[in-house]
Amino acid sequence: MATATIQIPAEDTAAVKARLGYPVLYLAAFLATFTFGSMNLLAPVFGTELKADGLQQSFILSSYTTVLAAVLILAGRLGDRFGRRRVLAWGLLVFAVASVGAGLSNSVALLIVARVLQGIGIGLVLPQILSTIQATSSGEKRTIALARYAAIAGIGTVVGQMASGALLTADLFGLSWRPVMFLAAGVASISLALIRLVRPTRSDAPLSMDLWGAILLGLALAAFIVSMTLFSAGAAIWLAVVLLLAAVVVGGLFARREKSLESAGAIPLAPPSLFRVRALRMGLAMNLLFFTGYGAFMFEFSSLTQRGMHYSGLGSGLAIVLFALAFVVTSVYLHRISRRLGKHTMLVGAGFQLLALAALAVELLLEGSQVQQWHLQIALVLLGAAQAVMFGPLINTVMSQIPSWAAGLSGGLFSTVQQLAFSLGVAVLGGLYFTLSQLQQFGFFGGFVFCLAVQILVTVLFGLFSWHLHRHPATATPDALPA
């Protein structure tokens, strides 16, 4: 009996592999923000078990995002040159080993080193996700893929906070916070085991590595974030000032080098010509505003529920569940919402976020420690939905106008600003909240309301950028190397 052999076109096979690989990319994206969110509840525990003072706790938190922000753009170049799937695998392996090391740490110094290695690992991972999606999809498929990426990356912070709360409360085998690190290592290991599902891609015209540019940028970012951490902790102010000045000087040297290289016909780490893409400039500014507010809110809400409302770690995590669900559900239907709202989608999201933040502020001003949890949950549900509507379209708006030669670079830039914003949110607004909460005239609730007012201002700026971005649509960007 004869059998027929069905030939599957190579391009269909590639498309199927791309779709199967996307969940692996989403899991890797989830891991990055999960790691950030899981630490929000752990700082006080480090103080108790590792005898870490306030400044040391700040460095345990910020060491991850500092190094992560410093390596992202170079990591994008590595993916373009050596293959994005390969660099993704390297990053997952480094992160998994570092997470096990963090879980086994018995001192502040060892934990900070492990957190630095975690940052390097995720720094290798993040740029490969956006650039792989851009290289393997287009049109509606890319829009949906980026929306799912935004949803899963956004929800990682909340899930990390809930998971760390649950594990702290369970105190498995008397290990306290350590299972949180082992869980992160497990997620990375699963992603690594499934890495073959990700379609391998690389740039057709990989750019030079610009190692000196990467070193200058990394030093500038690290000096800036560490200075902000010191300022927020009120410690070693003289060192904070020196580091801030160093960040300005080194940043200036980096900008001068990039301009000089491009004028000579080379393509530097961050080509100044790429910033002529108006959507990229505005998108990076909006990304900075969004994640500064988001990172600060998650940190402050965790502190408020634990210290002001005296919730357990699990209770603090559960208090944010409906916020997370609203974010996820809205993200799932975001492509439909965007069709209805069109270019005004992000502006509408900013409007609803203003309403949610104002409602939270009023509730806490009127009721203080007597606030009813269900009152807060109404505002938190609205806030979660609003943030999905704000952030989801932003990625697609920017990435759709980036030329293919800059796929890894643009992914690195976007992720760098995101991590910088997380650090700024926790260091500046989180530090402000911690300071105000110690003052009798503010306390935990008054300090939280004051920070909400700052975040309302940040949201207004985001809305203005969104309105301006679509009022003057950007022209198409040529898909070619800059002259």
Predicted confidence band of residue 460 (pLDDT cuts 50, 70, 90) = very high
In this structure, the answer to whether residues 169 and 108 fall within a common structural domain is: yes
The yes-or-no verdict on residue 164 having pLDDT over 50 is yes
In this structure, the answer to whether residues 112 and 250 fall within a common structural domain is: no
Report the pLDDT averaged over residues 3-16: 48
What is residue 113's predicted lDDT score, i.e. its pLDDT?
A: 93
What is residue 88's predicted lDDT score, i.e. its pLDDT?
A: 94
Contacts 24+ apart (CB under 8 A), 298-302: 298/37, 298/40, 298/157, 298/158, 298/161, 299/40, 299/425, 299/426, 299/429, 299/430, 299/433, 300/429, 300/430, 300/433, 300/448, 300/451, 301/448, 302/40, 302/41, 302/161
Report the pLDDT averaged over residues 369-396: 84
Indicate the residue among 243, 268, 293 that finishes a domain. 268
Domain count for the chain: 2
Please, is 344 exposed, middle or buried when counting C-beta atoms within 10 Å of its C-beta (0-12, 13-18, 19+)?
A: middle
In this structure, the answer to whether residues 318 and 463 fall within a common structural domain is: yes
In this structure, the answer to whether residues 216 and 333 fall within a common structural domain is: no
Distance CA 128, CA 443 (A): 43
What is residue 25's predicted lDDT score, i.e. its pLDDT?
A: 92
Predicted confidence band of residue 134 (pLDDT cuts 50, 70, 90) = confident
Helices 321-332 and 334-341: crossing angle in degrees, nearest 10, is 60
**Inter-residue contact 231 to 427 (CB < 8 Å):** yes
The yes-or-no verdict on residue 4 having pLDDT over 50 is no
Predicted confidence band of residue 143 (pLDDT cuts 50, 70, 90) = confident
Q: What is the pLDDT of residues 311-330, one digit of tens each?
A: 877 787 788 888 888 988 88
The yes-or-no verdict on residue 477 having pLDDT over 50 is no
Angle at 260 between CA 259 and CA 266, to 5 degrees: 90
In this structure, the answer to whether residues 173 and 139 fall within a common structural domain is: yes
Tokens representing residue 269 in the block: 């780490």
Report the pLDDT averaged over residues 212-231: 83
Most confident of 17-26, 42-51, 354-363, 364-373: 354-363
The yes-or-no verdict on residue 331 having pLDDT over 90 is no
The continuous run of DSSP H or E covering 29 comes out as helix 10-38
Predicted confidence band of residue 367 (pLDDT cuts 50, 70, 90) = confident
Report the pLDDT averaged over residues 207-219: 79
Distance CA 76, CA 206 (A): 10
In this structure, the answer to whether residues 289 and 261 fall within a common structural domain is: no
Residue with tokens 């103080």: 47
Give the CATH number for residue 431: 1.20.1250.20
What is the identity of the amino acid at 315? G
In this structure, the answer to whether residues 190 and 142 fall within a common structural domain is: yes
Closest CA to 337 of 400, 390, 389: 389
What is residue 443's predicted lDDT score, i.e. its pLDDT?
A: 83
In a domain? residue 420: yes
The yes-or-no verdict on residue 6 having pLDDT over 50 is no
What is residue 5's predicted lDDT score, i.e. its pLDDT?
A: 41
In this structure, the answer to whether residues 217 and 78 fall within a common structural domain is: no
Q: What is the pLDDT of residues 372-385, one digit of tens each?
A: 777 889 999 999 99
Mean pLDDT of the chain: 82
What is residue 231's predicted lDDT score, i.e. its pLDDT?
A: 77
In a domain? residue 62: yes
Domain that holds residue 261: 211-268
In a domain? residue 476: no
In a domain? residue 481: no
Helices 373-399 and 443-471: crossing angle in degrees, nearest 10, is 30
Q: What is the pLDDT of residues 238-264, one digit of tens each?
A: 888 999 999 999 999 998 988 888 888
Length of the chain: 483
In a domain? residue 1: no
Predicted confidence band of residue 213 (pLDDT cuts 50, 70, 90) = confident
What is residue 475's predicted lDDT score, i.e. its pLDDT?
A: 47
Residue ranges of the alpha helices (H) in 39-138? 43-49, 54-82, 84-104, 108-136
Most confident of 75-79, 115-119, 427-431: 115-119
What is residue 372's predicted lDDT score, i.e. its pLDDT?
A: 78
In this structure, the answer to whether residues 165 and 307 fall within a common structural domain is: yes
Predicted confidence band of residue 435 (pLDDT cuts 50, 70, 90) = confident
The yes-or-no verdict on residue 66 having pLDDT over 90 is no
Predicted confidence band of residue 58 (pLDDT cuts 50, 70, 90) = confident
Reduced to 3 states, what is the DSSP secondary structure of residue 138?
coil
In this structure, the answer to whether residues 87 and 226 fall within a common structural domain is: no
What is residue 399's predicted lDDT score, i.e. its pLDDT?
A: 63
Q: What is the pLDDT of residues 178-207, one digit of tens each?
A: 999 999 999 999 999 999 999 898 877 666
In this structure, the answer to whether residues 359 and 325 fall within a common structural domain is: yes
What is the identity of the amino acid at 196? R
24 vs 5, higher pLDDT: 24
In this structure, the answer to whether residues 284 and 426 fall within a common structural domain is: yes
